[in-house]
Amino acid sequence: MKISDILKNNKVNVSFEVFPPKEWSKIETTKAVVCEMAKSSPAFMSVTYGAAGTTSGFTTEIAAEIKNNGITPLSHLTCLTSSKNKIDTVLNELEENGIENILALRGDIPQGFVFPDEQHFHYAYELVNTIREHGDFCIGGACYPEIHPESANRVEDFQHLKEKVDCGVDFLTTQMFFDNEIFYRFRENCAIKGIDVPLIAGIMPITNANQIKRSVELSGCAFPKKFMKILERFGENPKAMKQAGIIYATEQIIDLMANGQNNIHIYTMNKPDVAESIMKGLSEIINE
Ligand code: FAD
């Protein structure tokens, strides 16, 4: 099923995310994670793509496993370090496996990276164009409520986002954020700029103190005072931090829903227990 159709259902749609293993020998472990997560009945499940593209087959394999578990898969695809031929091969592979949904991404620029030749992509909008030309896929894109770290300013970031959406993006998933007010301002600005595809709000449950450094490095996102207080008090106690992180994420989702945000993506990071706890915390709220 196409995610664009799922998002039209006027219900609350909560999706999950898994990442593929780095080695083929661990593929069955990741498949078991998918199987566990599927039991919480997410609206769809996404599977990330290794930035270098060397494990692209793993992403397709996991996407196929998601489908086998009766859940709609969303396959991430980055283009920065891939040739156009390689992208064509991956698109054929996805088609052969009946994967209809792609999150079209550029990927982060590795240190010292030099663009090889004109056969390579520079930005995600070029990948969106290529996917549209290739076949009948539902295409998602990434967006950044706290602006993309490379962007000089918000005006430029929105301009490029609008251009990307106009190339044929069906929905946008946000980078993680921990302060809902930032998301509400972003959502309003999207409406003002005529970016009118569905927005999926990305929520990352922080379940251990080490994750914070990584999250800031990846996204540059701000942590509100309320969150920092939780970290100060419970950061040294793994069990307490995990519980507090799950509750913080659950409260964020409830506030989003109360403010009319029906599409929510949880960065579940291969943790079925975290996904299950959040869904249990929302059991009545989701079906209200
Ligand atoms: P783009 O949309 O191309 O934007 C990148 C930058 O270029 C922005 O600053 C933008 O304003 C600017 N820009 C865009 N077009 C132009 C133009 N025409 N001229 C000048 N500047 C321009 N990474 C992975 O490796 N694997 C994953 O699976 C993965 N999943 C992700 C999922 C989500 C929801 C998000 C938010 C990010 C994900 N990432 C992933 C990270 C992502 O690849 C990086 O954030 C990357 O730096 C930007 O990707 P993008 O698709 O947003 O790029």
pLDDT per residue over 167-222, tens digit each? 999 999 999 999 999 999 999 999 999 999 999 999 999 999 888 877 777 778 88
Distance 234 CA to ligand 1 centre (A): 33
For ligand 1, whether the C-beta of 64 sits within 6 Å is no
What pLDDT, in 10s, does the model give residues 19-41? 999 999 999 999 999 999 999 99
Query: Are 198 and 233 within 8 A, CB to CB?
Result: no
Distance 59 CA to ligand 1 centre (A): 18
Assess whether the C-beta atom of 164 lies below 6 angstroms from ligand 1.
yes
Ligand 1 and 49: CB distance under 6 A: yes
Report the percent of the chain where pLDDT is more than 90. Answer: 84
Give alpha helix (H) positions in 83-194.
84-96, 124-134, 154-166, 180-192
The pLDDT of 106-110, averaged and rounded, is 89
CA of 150 to the centre of ligand 1 (A): 9
Look at ligand 1, atom 33, and give the residue with the nearest C-alpha.
142
DSSP string, 230-254: HHHHHTT-HHHHHHHHHHHHHHHHH
Cβ of residue 142 lying under 6 Å from some atom of ligand 1: yes
DSSP 83: B
The pick from 120, 123, 155, 266 for probing ligand 1's pocket by mutation, whose C-beta has the most ligand atoms within 8 angstroms, reads 123
The set of residues, in sequence order, having a beta carbon less than 8 Å from that of 55 and lying 6+ positions away, is 20, 21, 22
The contacts of residue 1 (CB under 8 Å, 6+ apart) are 72, 100
Give the pLDDT band of residue 137 (cuts 50, 70, 90).
very high
Residue keyed to tokens 């920092």? 228
Structure confidence by residue, pLDDT tens digits, 36-73: 999 999 999 999 998 777 788 999 999 999 999 999 99
Could you tell me which residues come within 8 angstroms of residue 40 by beta carbon, excluding any fewer than 6 positions away? 16, 272, 275, 276, 279
288 burial (CB, 10 Å; 0-12 / 13-18 / 19+) is: exposed
Q: Of 135, 64, 148, give the one whose Cα is nearest residue 105.
A: 148
- Average pLDDT on 121-126 reads 95
Q: How far is the CA of 107 from the centre of ligand 1 (A)?
A: 6
Q: Is 106 in the pocket of ligand 1 (CB under 6 A)?
A: yes
User: What's residue 219's pLDDT?
Assistant: 77
What is the reported pTM?
0.97
Q: How far is CA 79 from the centre of its chain?
A: 16
Give, using CA atoms, the residue closest to atom 41 of ligand 1.
Answer: 107
* Ligand 1 atom 30 nearest Cα: 48
Average pLDDT, the chain: 94
Q: Is 99 helix (H, G, I), strand (E, B) or coil?
A: coil
Ligand 1 contacts CB of residue 180 (under 6 A): no
DSSP H or E segment with residue 115: none
Q: Tell the burial category of 217 from Cβ atoms under 10 Å away from its Cβ (0-12, 13-18, 19+).
A: exposed
